[in-house]
Structure 1
Amino acid sequence: MKNQEPLQDIAYDAFVYAYPLMEQVKTVNGMFQFTGLIPNKPNMNPKLPWENIGMPIVAPNLTSMTGGVFVDISHGPVTLEIPEVKDRYIVYQCIDVFTHNFFYLGTRANNGEAGRFVFYNKHQQLPNNDATPVLMEGDHAIVVIRIDIANEDEYARVRAIQDAIQIVDAPQEHRSYPTYDEKKAFSPDFVEYVNELLTEVPDTETALFERFAAIGIMRDVSLTAEQTAEVQAGIDAAYAAIRQEAANLQVGNGYLGATTIFGTREYLDGNYMGRAAGANFGLWGNSKEEANYFMSFVEGEGDIVFTKENLPPLSEIGFYSITAHDENVHVKPNEFDSYVLTMDKMRFEEDGSLVVKFSSQPEEGNWLYTPGGKLIILVRVYQPDPDRIVDYVPPPFVKR
């Protein structure tokens, strides 16, 4: 008789697979509750980004207004209409139930052109509405929308863009979405989230799901107390490994980076631990072609000196920003209104280098406020050179 694979090993791999799906459920549940997000209706945040200063928000984006669409194609295709936007950066990041970035629209992806895009699955017939077809896996997706804004004078323009983003064709019926419960998510019952989210096994993962069936994924099983304990041991080991992997996203010079753990299913190519570490590091990170993030945990006052050769590598339409956060990655108010440096505000040296200063009192040049103590510096690089960004490491923070 063939030896059966230990349930602990199966549970380990299954939890690594399921963890980002469950983290997304948790986040979407929060959006349902606190932002009023509902299926197939655009949900736009009217707040200016700098109104997030002082709020308990992790790594708030201080240069973009945001919005989202929760797409539900369970009862038929859904058509999204977007306006032309050529005067500023805009991105529509489309994230499926697996947390893959399966599609993009916006400045980089379609040159900011207007259009209609119909989301559908392989079993559905496309409507005759001349929209560009966008194939999805699963019934649900989230479209995260970010629109750059420089100052309050641009508010009316950005709000007009938000208002022009519409769902123009969608079924009235929706499929239920799971309710997140942390105790359940970290117990052998976590399999229920996968079973609720998915209606079929992905074509490329048949063998994987045949293994997962032993613990109740896409199959009814009854586990003994001993088997349940074995599954729990696999879950505990998997979560510890995910946290360790997320903590080890070191790219050099004291920075954590995540340039290779977000993307399409094809790009990730079975890197389930990387996908899980990405969800633990920060859900909904962009694919490397769109945006990259470098985070450094430092202390005290100091400087970062970018030589011309070591500035973030950009595409022709790329740009970057630098933000200072407290040790909780929050942005606290300060009397100088010093929070973020964007490229249009940076002052470069004659040789093309860039010096960024972090201290408690204003300084000439590129200065960001820090009260001293622990500090987290975040370098955001948008629309980089996709080939060079993979190996890029920002220069280190040098303490004074």
Structure 2
Amino acid sequence: MTTRKVTIRFGGVLMMALLALLAGCNGKKEVQEPVNLKEVAYEAFIYAYPMMEQVKTINGMFTFIGMKPNIVAMNPRYPMDNVGQPIVAPNLTSMTGGLFIDISAGPVTLEIPEIKDRYNVYQFVDVFTHNFYYLGTRTNGGEAGRFTFYNKNQPKPDSGASTPVLMEGDHAILVNRIDIKDRSELDKVREIQQGIKVVSAPSQVRTYPEYDEEKAYSPAFVEYLNELLTEVPEAEAALFERFAAIGIMNKVELSADDLQKIQAGIDAAFATIQAESKNLDVGNGYAGATEIFGTREFLNGNYLGRAAAAYFGLWGNSKEEANYFMLFTEGEGQIRFAKDELPPLTEIGFWSVTVHDENILVEKNEYDSYVLTMDQMKFEEDGSLIITISSTPQQGNWLFTPGGSMTILIRAYQADPNKIGSYVPPGFYSSGVGGHIKPS
């Protein structure tokens, strides 16, 4: 155990965390409460892990696709042209894009066009990895508009000129998805993409942290929070009081022994995150993440769930928008859905099935068989559905696999939020065996 007196900085106001009451001038000494640095580091790393994973991903976008702050970056490629590329779990039915929002020097205004003839979604993720705002088919009916992003330290924008959107922190990421039916619509969707633009933004931005893996898993991980945050979230003041002991939003002097204890806490926390990610099994071998992506209010202090979600994959949608069920399996066989085993959807909902390799990549095949969407599926007379996955073409609903290890991914959009949390897809049955193949 280490004892220390902690000075914490909240919004520029210094507060001394007195761990015992002083008896005025009567000469009594201050009593200090022990601080368990390993426990503090354990808790703080779980809190910080998704934020650091986001820093890693955004750095990758800066490097590999040339994304820049407050400049819309759209991918003009037809989705099927991403087959064979080193893209994990590519969406083969939509064109995508993004925007890194930096409001550190002032509000940013985004303009979007009307899109009513196809599904589209604008997902906004804040610095904490919360899904704090949505636009698109589900939320605003695909209407055009202007939306100004600001934080509580800035004046609220005039609602007559645009819709004000309050966000936490200085940074956010927008993930955009626009459905496309076939190549004949390519020019039309590209034109829609060009209508998504930033119409107002400050000329200056704040330096964004550079990701370093060694730093992220060492006691220096606290620097990421110190770089990302300009103030402590009001709802988490008590949490950050504890975090101050290891240097989060605070300056401390730590001995070699202190750093060892902090490293032990980090190692234990990461092991816990990895173990928790295995609890995402929803049944029949599928991993699902329907309850660990969402707003700050929805997650309600579930920091371990938020970390497991980041380990599973960043920027998953809130369950009202989209849900994913992933099965690692092998061989050839079928998935058989009874009528009441189909994904529960709202009236505008839809779903799809994709087969990937064991690394969740999509490899080219001679049949151009990669994805089945709901409008392509052929249902039995009783409303049930059979999907065959094999190395040779089959009648009905068929997807290609070369055999061996594979990943089956079910995507359900606009699901019924009251039912999707308990939904379990039917298992994969190997040909000639009739039993479920458990994931490796």
**Shorter-chain TM-score range:** over 0.9
Give 3-state SS (helix, strand or coil) of 1:204's partner: helix
- Residue 2 of structure 1, CA deviation: 4.9
Match of 1:219 in 2: 250
**Which of 136, 146, 170 is the aligned partner of 1:116?**
146
Asked if 1 retains the 8 angstrom alpha-carbon contact of 2:37 and 2:258, the reply is yes
Match of 2:309 in 1: 278
Question: In 2, distance between residues paired with 1:104 and 1:333?
Answer: 34
Match of 1:61 in 2: 91
- Residue 5 of structure 1, CA deviation: 2.9
Question: In 2, distance between residues paired with 1:33 and 1:321?
Answer: 31
**Which of 300, 309, 313 is the aligned partner of 2:331?**
300
Give 3-state SS (helix, strand or coil) of 1:376's partner: strand
Match of 2:41 in 1: 11
Match of 2:77 in 1: 47
Asked if 1 retains the 8 angstrom alpha-carbon contact of 2:157 and 2:164, the reply is no
Question: In 1, distance between residues paired with 2:236 and 2:86?
Answer: 39
Equivalent position amino acid for 1:219 in 2: N
Question: In 2, distance between residues paired with 1:109 and 1:277?
Answer: 27
**Which of 224, 229, 233 is the aligned partner of 2:260?**
229
Equivalent position amino acid for 1:360 in 2: S
Asked if 2 retains the 8 angstrom alpha-carbon contact of 1:53 and 1:333, the reply is yes
Is 1:136 aligned to 2:201, yes or no?
no
- Residue 186 of structure 1, CA deviation: 0.4
- Residue 109 of structure 1, CA deviation: 1.0
CA-to-aligned-CA distance 1:29-75 (integer Å, 9 cap, x gap): 01001111111111111111111111121111111111011111111
Equivalent position amino acid for 1:37 in 2: M
Asked if 2 retains the 8 angstrom alpha-carbon contact of 1:21 and 1:99, the reply is yes
Question: In 2, distance between residues paired with 1:123 and 1:366?
Answer: 54
Match of 1:194 in 2: 225
Question: In 1, distance between residues paired with 2:316 and 2:157?
Answer: 32
**Which of 154, 179, 203 is the aligned partner of 1:148?**
179
Give 3-state SS (helix, strand or coil) of 1:296's partner: strand
Question: In 2, distance between residues paired with 1:202 and 1:315?
Answer: 35
Equivalent position amino acid for 1:361 in 2: T
Question: In 1, distance between residues paired with 2:325 and 2:240?
Answer: 35
Give 3-state SS (helix, strand or coil) of 1:274's partner: helix
Runs in 1 of length 4+ with deviation above 4 angstroms? none
Match of 2:9 in 1: none
CA-to-aligned-CA distance 1:325-369 (integer Å, 9 cap, x gap): 111111101111110000111111111111000111000000001
Equivalent position amino acid for 1:326 in 2: D
Question: In 2, distance between residues paired with 1:4 and 1:396?
Answer: 51
Length, aligned pairs only:
400
Give 3-state SS (helix, strand or coil) of 1:13's partner: helix
Match of 1:86 in 2: 116
> TM-score, normalized by length of structure 2?
0.90
**Which of 271, 275, 285 is the aligned partner of 1:240?**
271
Give 3-state SS (helix, strand or coil) of 1:190's partner: helix
Asked if 2 retains the 8 angstrom alpha-carbon contact of 1:77 and 1:126, the reply is no
Asked if 1 retains the 8 angstrom alpha-carbon contact of 2:286 and 2:325, the reply is yes
Match of 1:325 in 2: 356
Match of 2:135 in 1: 105
Q: Structure 1, unaligned stretches of length 5 or more?
A: none
Give runs of aligned pairs for residues 343-354 of structure 1, distance below 5 A: 343-354=374-385
Question: In 1, distance between residues paired with 2:41 and 2:35?
Answer: 11
Give % identity.
Answer: 66
- Residue 127 of structure 1, CA deviation: 3.5
> TM-score, normalized by length of structure 1?
0.99
Asked if 2 retains the 8 angstrom alpha-carbon contact of 1:327 and 1:376, the reply is yes
Equivalent position amino acid for 1:368 in 2: L
Structure of larger gyration radius: 2
Asked if 2 retains the 8 angstrom alpha-carbon contact of 1:320 and 1:382, the reply is yes
Question: In 2, distance between residues paired with 1:376 and 1:349?
Answer: 25
Question: In 1, distance between residues paired with 2:205 and 2:406?
Answer: 45
- Residue 126 of structure 1, CA deviation: 3.0
